[in-house]
Amino acid sequence: MNNLDKIMKPKSVAVIGASTKPKTIGSEIMQRLRDYKFKGNIYPINPKGGMIEGFQAYTNINEVPGDVDLAIIVVNAKFVLDTIDQCHQKGIKGLCIITAGFKETGAAGAEMEKELLAKVKEYGMRCVGPNCLGVLNTNPEVSMDGTFAESLPVRGDIGFVSQSGALGGGILNILKDLNVGFAQFISIGNQADVNAETALEYWENEDDVKQILLYMESIQNPQNFRKLASRITKKKPIVALKAGRSAAGASAASSHTGSLAGADKAANALLAQSGVIREYSLKNLFATAKVFSNCPIPKGDRVAIITNSGGPGIMATDAICEYGLQMAKITDATKEKLRSFLPSAASVKNPIDMIASAPIEHYQQTLETVIADENVDMIVVIYLPFLGLKDIDVARAVMEIKAKNPSKPVLGVFMTTSSFFSELSNMNVNMPFFMYAEEAAEGLHRLNQQRLWQQRPVGTMPKYDVDRNKAEKIMRQSIEEGRDQLTTRESIDVLDAYGIRVCKSGFATNIDEVVKIGNSIGYPVVMKMTSKTTSHKTDVGGVRINIQSEEQLRNEYNDLIEKLTQKGLIDGLEGVIIQEMVKGNREMVCGIATDPQYGPMMMFGLGGVFIEVMKDVTFRIAPLTDIDAKEMIKSVKAYKLLEGARGTKPAQMEQIEETLLRLSQLVSDYPFIDELDINPLLISEKTGEGIAVDGRIKVRMKEAQEQLGGCTCGACAGCCK
């Protein structure tokens, strides 16, 4: 038996805190259990005993004569811990604690919730809540509504998890209007024990649950969520409304990657990598749910449009193309059959315009013909009211054809009055209906998104041979000197140790070394200062490019020393890096930023001076798979530049993918890396390679010291280890 069965499929329920007083939670839950005709035994618990909602009440849980699977607890918060003890004595393994007054109220409540969880674990129980709306299961064999929402639930195929009790209650009250239904519902509340991940795992193999909807304000364990969701979304859709989209904390980051990142970008990356479809409004959440409830996953992305008006057909075509879907090429045989019954003024090309005079029979015949076309994967049927044709009659006729042909998605766009949609809510529909073509196009896009995810390879996380000893030695040196910011030279050397293509370079501390390195690399070269006190070199004239000769190199070096001396920055100067000058006008950026909750995030996009302005970047949570790396590169608008626009040499895509994967390995090996920028990752005009021209690494000192055993006093060379 699954560890949530006692909660979601109980054979008996005790309501501890059941009440005869109207409009109380203890009374409402008893009424819901009774009115929804719970199939098991119901035991109200109230110190006064008597009868409650027609059921014999008991003064104490231990007086109940039979076994109890689930206890729904609605007593005052100060009595909850003792109640859990009593439930343990009774042998109850499932708890749903409706009661509020725990960590949401402050420190004292948080401490009480900590004790609550300790008891639950000690007693081998599972617990939903506290501070929640309750649970329900609409399966006729269970028929349990253990919530205090006003309306009884509507049967459907959705497993819904809500972190907000009030929101969950509001949704339960309007399910009929939404034209969707729930299989199971869990209001997780404070998530002391059962959370969204618990529900995901429970519903993975539940036949009743065909799709999973999530309303989340936080993701407690991002790594576990990713592991579970990545697996489950291969079997059934997960659609999430993730609230809290602020980028709090990003302003404190000093790197480009850090400043462009943020909590919501991390959540977005996690959901995308897990195959979870993210929606940004309740309206869209349930529009997508309606599509998945009534449509199979298509075999391709080719869409046919059937309409009785040209304008809406064109708008639907535009919307479909904007989502990257294909307009199906109708076969000649299909066109010939359509011409046999449609008027001569009709258009049998896609979109198929039956014209305004189309009767119900034409809707039926056209849909039946098009649905049989092997070139068509999905269909949109558009209706506008003409010549007294009744919308609900057309809907019934279309659904009749759909019932006979269940293998392809069919969506209706009925541009009619709201009364039509009210009437639909009282019917058993087998296809989704929308008011506007754009809504239907988005629904098709979601179906295709799920299709592509299910076909997407899982991907691998390659392990490269790297020089960890070299990288660790460099980072330990910085840590022992009390520096959380590696110098430019150190950063580039760490990248080089991990096999990332960097510019040929050398480090110099005086004019003779500068000239020797410049001559050995060959001109033109670039000169960059590296300082333990100045991180942004360009702000102080610390980067000199296109140096064409030894004489120019001498002049540039002397000028740099003079400028730093004038600005009082000479003491922080460690030296200069002389690099080969890579020619190329395509500047990309790679980086790592750490989110406090989600961990290290990888970034890729358009770099150079445009990074903060254009913000053409994408994020993924580390570690990356090879498929993640490919998708990162392809998802930015600058991808066209990498392909070789206007005759430029195409970039070496596989080498750039490898760069991202090597960075992912670097941060996996050293999770204390807080921020890392390669900006620019210059695309060579000559070879198409992505070359790290500049690098910057910052670590979290305490974590770095703990992992590497370095000293952080800043006054010795490791003597405090």
Please report, for the domain that includes residue 116, its CATH number. 3.40.50.720
Do residue 445 and residue 563 come from a single domain?
Answer: no
pLDDT at 503 (0 to 100): 87
Do residue 597 and residue 650 come from a single domain?
Answer: yes
Strands 51-52, 55-56: pairing is antiparallel
What's the Cα-to-Cα distance from 698 to each of 65, 206, 468, rounded to whole Å?
Answer: 65, 46, 17
Give CA–CA dist 531/579, Å, rounded. 16
Structure tokens at 565: 């001396």
Residue entry with tokens 């019932």: 403
Give CA–CA dist 516/712, Å, rounded. 36
Do residue 559 and residue 640 come from a single domain?
Answer: no
- pLDDT, block means (10 residues), the chain with 721 residues: 86 97 95 97 96 96 96 98 98 97 95 98 97 97 96 95 89 87 96 96 97 91 95 98 62 45 81 96 95 98 97 96 98 98 97 96 98 98 93 97 97 96 93 97 98 96 97 95 92 96 91 95 92 73 92 95 90 90 90 91 87 84 97 94 86 97 98 95 92 94 89 46 41
Model pTM above 0.85: yes
pLDDT at 388 (0 to 100): 84
| Domain C-terminal end among 562, 580, 598 | 580
Do residue 161 and residue 308 come from a single domain?
Answer: no
Give CA–CA dist 683/487, Å, rounded. 23
Give CA–CA dist 695/631, Å, rounded. 23
Q: Compute the C-alpha angle 60/66/69, nearest 5°.
A: 85
Residue 410's domain spans which residues? 296-454
CATH code where residue 677 lies: 3.30.470.20
| Domain C-terminal end among 454, 476, 504 | 454
Do residue 499 and residue 552 come from a single domain?
Answer: yes
Do residue 560 and residue 695 come from a single domain?
Answer: no
When divided into structural domains, the chain yields a total of 4
DSSP-assigned states of every residue in 498-527: TT--B--EEEESSHHHHHHHHHHH-SSEEE
Do residue 201 and residue 81 come from a single domain?
Answer: yes
Looking at the domain assignment, is residue 276 inside a domain? no
Do residue 442 and residue 571 come from a single domain?
Answer: no
Give CA–CA dist 188/175, Å, rounded. 19
How many helices (H) and strands (E) in the chain?
A: 26, 30
Looking at the domain assignment, is residue 570 inside a domain? yes
pLDDT at 297 (0 to 100): 98
Do residue 672 and residue 598 come from a single domain?
Answer: yes
Looking at the domain assignment, is residue 24 inside a domain? yes
pLDDT at 710 (0 to 100): 55
Looking at the domain assignment, is residue 220 inside a domain? no
Looking at the domain assignment, is residue 225 inside a domain? no
CB 354 within 8 A of CB 308: yes
Looking at the domain assignment, is residue 267 inside a domain? no
Looking at the domain assignment, is residue 325 inside a domain? yes
CB 617 within 8 A of CB 603: yes
| Domain C-terminal end among 555, 580, 605 | 580
CATH code where residue 548 lies: 3.30.1490.20
Looking at the domain assignment, is residue 253 inside a domain? no
CB 157 within 8 A of CB 185: no
